[in-house]
Amino acid sequence: MNSLDLVILVVYLAGTVLFGAWFSRSQRNVRDYFVSGQQVPWWAIMGSIVATETSTVTFISVPGYAYSNNFTFMQLVIGYMIGRIVVTILFVPSYFKGELLTVYQLLGQRFGSSVRRLASLLFLVTRSLADGFRLFATGLVLAALLLAMPGMEATARGWVPGLNPTYTLLIISVLVMGIATIVYTYLGGMSAVIWTDVIQLVIYLVGAVVAAWVLIDRVPGGWNEIVATGSAAGKFEWFNFSRDMTKSYTFWSGVVGGAFLTTATHGTDQLMVQRYLCSSSTRQARIALLTSGVVIFVQFLLFLLIGVMLYVFYTGYAPGEIASFTLNGRLQTDRIFPHFIVTHLPPGVVGLVIAAIFAAAMSTLASSLNSSAATAVGDFYMPMTGGNRGEGHYLNVSRLLTAFWGMIQIAVALVAINLSSRVVDEVLGIASFTNGVILGVFFLGTFTKRVRQGAAFVGIVVGAAVMLYVKLRTGITWQWYVLIGSTTTFVVGLLSSLLLREGRDALAPDA
């Protein structure tokens, strides 16, 4: 890594902070800060959805998946697209009935404040944990970049004597990335998040295409050899029809489980729903969500192709480097793409692709901070104060809570340094753990009429308990978590309503 790469990274980080500061000029109240006055065009919302859905976990782990496996990850992406269709039909129209700040206000209107706050609390806890792991994954990339610089390992060893230099640089990386994201999100609010997402989407897609182009050039036989070698190794296999629920990335867990997962994350999770709330109409929100599915499909194909290219390159032309990806006899696939970037891309391109990885991470993290602050303010602080404070007061509290949740995620990332081995499964497993429970409550609100607060609360508690058992005591893959959690919550809530005599016609549709 040379000075040009460093300049690119510094300019990128400084630019995002200045971008956030520029948007802070137009903020007058919490609606400006959290939903951008509902004036964002659909194509910008689409770009923000894709960028938020694409974290560093996607950028480095999906190529790593194809390196060690094949294209069966695409079964999950098919489920993602089905889930989007369900959300546009089932949930999006309800977001534009009244002025919402958070999606959990719908639960408050249907079931009361206790269910609303419990759902909000589950979101805040799981979002902080999942995105803390994402921040950790980004730190891995920056640490690898720094270690590749001449003399950096000795320098880091001197900073903290007795501590592994990799560990030292990883801590520094997490702090740099976390603080930079906090600053521009704190200043710019949702407008800065969305428009920065659009820029970051372009940056990381360009970075991925450049990396793929270089990989094709590095393989003597070019694209034809990549296809031939990849096909011989079974890398282009898309479907696995196993019915074993302990296996990830099968057709059933991908299509069915992925559809339920996306219905939850894109239909009932504040992180995504907040983007629809920034659009001017139901139609605009639907267009943004559906077109994002097409972009996501193409994007995952690109990342998986990069993984196959890495496999052909390292097994055929740089086999000696594979040893550096192994720890305790286990291949660390998340390190392969970052290693290629640092050691094989030309000067300038290294900075571009690393900036692309940062873009993928910062888009997700910034969205997480803003949506967490919106949930804390909209579902807890404003009801607690009766909404009687001035607009300036709530705006200041919103910014402070943005910084607070950022510090929480930094703390989680620092703890994750000693815990995580398979980052992608950690993140998606955490997100899936409670998303199913929340989706089940939304199903109760959508498909039943007389289920009330008490029964919904019981459904949430039992659903969370069942998911805790599934997570800790079974080998069921995370891809089934949302289906199990939502079904349990819905059925228990419905039965509880009958037992609690909340109404004899609990299955009657809403008028």
Give me the torsion for CA of 66, 70, 76, 77, rounded to 10°.
70
**Which pLDDT value is given to residue 420?**
47
The secondary structure of residue 242, as a DSSP letter, is -
**Would you state the pLDDT for residue 509?**
43
Residues written for the chain: 511
Q: Convert the pLDDT of each residue in 299-357 to its tens digit.
A: 999 999 999 999 999 988 888 877 777 766 677 787 788 888 878 888 888 888 777 77
Answer yes or no: are the C-beta atoms of 170 and 143 closer than 8 Å. yes
Q: How far apart are CA 80 and CA 84, in angstroms?
A: 6
Higher-confidence position of 434 and 67: 67
Structure token pair of residue 252: 């059933």
Q: Rounded to 5 degrees, what angle do the CA atoms 438, 444, 446 make? A: 105
Q: Please determine, for residue 504, whether its predicted confidence score (pLDDT) is greater than 70.
A: no
Distance CA 322, CA 67 (A): 12
pLDDT tens digit string along 137-173?
778 777 776 776 667 777 787 777 777 887 888 888 8
pLDDT tens digits, one per residue of 226-285: 999 999 999 999 999 999 998 989 999 999 999 999 999 999 999 899 999 999 899 999
Radius of gyration of the chain from Cα atoms?
A: 23
Other beta carbons within 10 Å of 437: 31
The pLDDT of residue 92: 93
Q: Where are the beta strands (DSSP E) in 120-238?
A: none
C-alpha distances in angstroms, 443 versus 22, 160, 421?
41, 53, 35
Residues near 292 by Cβ (< 8 Å), separated by ≥ 6? Answer: 46, 49, 50, 53, 84
Q: Has residue 506 got a pLDDT over 60? A: no
State the pLDDT at residue 313.
Answer: 94
- Name the pLDDT band for 366 (thresholds 50, 70, 90): confident
Per-residue pLDDT at 335: 78
The CATH fold assigned to 3-421 is Sodium/glucose cotransporter (1.20.1730)
Of the candidates 368, 384, 377, 270, the residue with the CA atom closest to the CA atom of residue 31: 377
pLDDT at 418 over 80: no
What sign does the CA torsion over 204, 206, 207, 208 have? positive
| pLDDT for res 507 | 45
pLDDT at residue 203 is higher than 90: no
Helix (H) or strand (E) holding 157: helix 152-159
Amino acid (one-letter) located at 122? L
More confident residue, 308 or 9: 308
> Over 80: is that where the pLDDT of 99 sits?
no
**What is the token pair recorded at 372?**
């967490």
Q: Residue 505: is its pLDDT beyond 60?
A: no
pLDDT for position 148: 65
For the chain, which residues make up each domain, given as ranges?
3-421
Rounded CA-CA distance 346/352 in Å is: 10
Helix residue spans in 219-281 (DSSP H): 222-232, 251-252, 258-267, 270-276
Residue 401 has pLDDT above 90, yes or no: yes
Q: Is the pLDDT of residue 12 over 60?
A: yes
Residue 87: per-residue pLDDT: 95
Mean pLDDT of all residues in 374-392: 89
**Averaged pLDDT for residues 187-210:** 87
3 state SS of 327 = strand
438 pLDDT band, cuts 50/70/90, is: very high
Indicate whether 44 pLDDT > 90: yes
Residue 244: Cβ within 10 Å count: 13
**Secondary structure class of 436 (helix, strand, coil):** helix
Angle of CA points 323, 327, 332, to nearest 5°: 80
**pLDDT at residue 510 in the model:** 40
- Say whether 262 sits in a helix, a strand or coil: helix
pLDDT of residue 430: 65
Q: How far apart are CA 211 and CA 411, in angstroms?
A: 32
Q: Residue 286: which pLDDT band, with cuts at 50, 70 and 90?
A: very high
Mean pLDDT of all residues belonging to the chain: 86
Q: Are 397 and 377 in contact (CB under 8 A)?
A: yes
- Mean pLDDT to the nearest integer, 44-48: 94
